[in-house]
Amino acid sequence: MTDTLIVGGGTAGCVLAARLSEDPNHTVRLLEAGPLWTTPDAIPAALRDATRLPLAADASWLWHYPVRLTDRGGTTNIVRGKVFGGSSAVNGSYFVRATGADFAAWAAAVESSRCWSSDAVLPAYRRSENDRDFGAQPWHGQSGPIPVRRTANPAPVSAEFAAACAVEGFPAVADMNAPDGTGDGVGLVPCNTEAGRRVSTAACYLLPVAARPNLAVHGSVSVVRILFRGTDAVGVEVLRDGRVETFSADRIVLSAGAIESAAILQRSGIGPAEHLRALDIPIVHPAPVGGWCTDHPEIGLEYRLSVPECAAVPLEYVLTIDDIEIRPYTVPFTPGQWRLGVALMRPESAGVLRLRSADPAVPPAIEYRYLAAEHDRTRLRAAVATATEIIRKMGATACTDPMPGPPHAADDWLHANLATSQHLSGTCRMGPANDDRAVVDELCRVHGVDGLSVVDLSVVPVPLSRGPQATTVMIAENVAGFPVR
Ligand SMILES: Cc1cc2nc3c(=O)[nH]c(=O)nc-3n(C[C@H](O)[C@H](O)[C@H](O)COP(=O)(O)OP(=O)(O)OC[C@H]3O[C@@H](n4cnc5c(N)ncnc54)[C@H](O)[C@@H]3O)c2cc1C
């Protein structure tokens, strides 16, 4: 019998498998839908190159999901990594911690500061990293698996952006991951890269320990549902090479990401009762799975600037202004044009995720409901105005049609230019048992059943003011130190 079975060898799953298997008396089994490459050098070059996003439409290492961004619009597509390392294996390598204010809100949401206050999570952030610029500090680690560094020679487009921000009077932030580095200003982005290579959690946590005798790692295995005896989770049903198999374990942990962890729970009978009944899914425990989720709505402003292109991580600098990030991407999305991403980091509008079918091959319906709140539209209008001024100060030529002045017309413009940062979280919210939006408790155990936890970005109960990758790693590091059941 396996002690802990982890579903999903993604960003969080690789961290958890590596940490839990440090105890030779604890057996761990890790199941991942994507392929397994057993050494870092065997990972395809496109996944290793940190200067490009490996998101080709036909890439075998991606999940694709149609989503609706607003109640007005049609569908657009988002992706996730389907490979060991998960989305950390395909992402932009931005590795920035959430802020003190985020953790104050998180601790308030769970009505406890025991596990998720700033002070409580700092050791887990420190354990994860080897900060190559700042070394060991009270707030930085130097011996963790993830190399973290800021660029020493910014690309010309990044340098022009930073100079324009200085002209606009924004202060420079020396270390975005320091406790005093979370205020407004422009800072170099900490990245999880090594010599131009993307360092996923598979590369730096899992592969170095994959040969441990108490750790079993399986690729190309898709988990269909969790198996219960009463309300005790006792195993999983999987598809491997087109055949149905089962694995049993003492404790099951879902680390399949905010989309698939919620979908697996619902398929297994843990979700909104009426909805599950409509899909003929037997109910194990009614729960608000997928009833709330959040992400970072983003507007892209294209511009021309005659500076040379050069190999760089997609984002070297970021300007933060309260709940806004302005991102000067170094990778052109349209030939001959650069892009400023303008993202709202703490939107009030929230989305929902629901199964469309009990068939695992049918992706769930994801409704973002972006721009529903007047607050979000007001903040984005202001942010676009600031970003437009920065483009002007850079001496660049704007290519995107300008946002009209009148708020109503400006809102139409926001709808027309809207995208998402692909940071979905919160589908299995953390909170106390009496919170009617909560799915897991503060130790990440699913309410109402035994032997089942969710450990990934699904559990975060508040919008995060920064990109979520570093915080996903922190969640797994933190939970690895919690009592086993
Ligand atoms: C293109 C892109 C760029 C991004 N850039 C950044 C960035 O630069 N910085 C940042 O902070 N954030 C970024 N993000 C977001 C960030 O990478 C993710 O939010 C974070 O990595 C999520 O981690 P996770 O562990 O929750 O899920 P994932 O890392 O997605 O892991 C889930 C894993 O579970 C596996 N899985 C799913 N279902 C099953 C199943 N049924 N059976 C078995 N296995 C299953 C998946 O294949 C995957 O490996 C980006 C995201 C994307 C998509």
Going along the chain from its start, the domains and CATH numbers come out as 2-50+58-480 (3.50.50.60)
Please indicate whether residue 87, judged by its CB atom, sits closer than 6 Å to ligand 1: yes
Please indicate whether residue 54, judged by its CB atom, sits closer than 6 Å to ligand 1: no
Q: What is the pLDDT of residue 71?
A: 94
Please indicate whether residue 346, judged by its CB atom, sits closer than 6 Å to ligand 1: no
Minimal CA–CA distance to 21: which of 180, 190, 214?
A: 214
In angstroms, what is the span from residue 78 Cα to ligand 1's centroid? 11
Maximum Cα interatomic distance, the chain, rounded to a whole number of Å = 66
Separation between Cα atoms, residue 367 and residue 468, nearest integer Å: 20
Q: How far, rounded to the nearest angstrom, does the alpha carbon of residue 405 sit from its chain's CA centroid?
A: 34
pLDDT tens profile 243-269: 999 999 999 999 999 999 999 999 999
Write the residue with the smallest CA distance to atom 47 of ligand 1: 82
Write the residue with the smallest CA distance to atom 45 of ligand 1: 8
For the CA atoms of 31, 33, 34, 40, the dihedral, rounded to the nearest 10 degrees, stands at: -10
Cα angle for residues 290, 293, 298 (degrees, 5° grid): 145
Among 285, 296, 423, 447, the active-site one is 423
pLDDT tens profile 337-389: 999 999 999 999 999 999 999 999 999 999 999 999 999 999 999 999 999 99
Query: How far, CA to CA in Å, does 85 sit from each of 11, 40, 59, 202, 214?
Result: 5, 11, 15, 4, 20
Give the confidence band of 485 by pLDDT, cuts at 50, 70, 90: very low
Please indicate whether residue 86, judged by its CB atom, sits closer than 6 Å to ligand 1: yes
Please indicate whether residue 67, judged by its CB atom, sits closer than 6 Å to ligand 1: no
HSE at residue 463, side-chain half, CA atoms within 13 A, is 18
Separation between Cα atoms, residue 259 and residue 428, nearest integer Å: 10
In angstroms, what is the span from residue 348 Cα to ligand 1's centroid? 23
In angstroms, what is the span from residue 99 Cα to ligand 1's centroid? 21
Please indicate whether residue 97, judged by its CB atom, sits closer than 6 Å to ligand 1: no
Query: Is a pLDDT exceeding 80 seen at residue 277?
Result: yes
Query: How far, CA to CA in Å, does 259 sit from each of 87, 184, 352?
Result: 12, 31, 11
Give the confidence band of 484 by pLDDT, cuts at 50, 70, 90: low
In angstroms, what is the span from residue 62 Cα to ligand 1's centroid? 10
Instruction: Match 């607050």 to its residue by tokens.
Output: 375
Interhelix angle for 100-109 vs 118-128, to 10°?
A: 120
Q: What is the pLDDT of residue 74?
A: 80
Separation between Cα atoms, residue 198 and residue 341, nearest integer Å: 21
User: Which residues on adjacent β-strands are paired with residue 351?
Assistant: 293
Q: 415 catalytic, yes or no?
A: no
Separation between Cα atoms, residue 452 and residue 35, nearest integer Å: 25
Separation between Cα atoms, residue 28 and residue 6, nearest integer Å: 7
φ, ψ of residue 291 in degrees (nearest 5): -75, -15
pLDDT tens profile 81-139: 999 999 999 999 999 999 999 999 999 999 998 999 999 999 999 999 999 999 999 99
pLDDT tens profile 310-328: 999 999 999 999 999 999 9
If one residue of 80, 239, 245, 253 were mutated to test the ligand 1 pocket, choosing by the most ligand atoms within 8 A of its CB, it would be: 80
Query: Is a pLDDT exceeding 90 seen at residue 48?
Result: yes
HSE at residue 37, side-chain half, CA atoms within 13 A, is 19
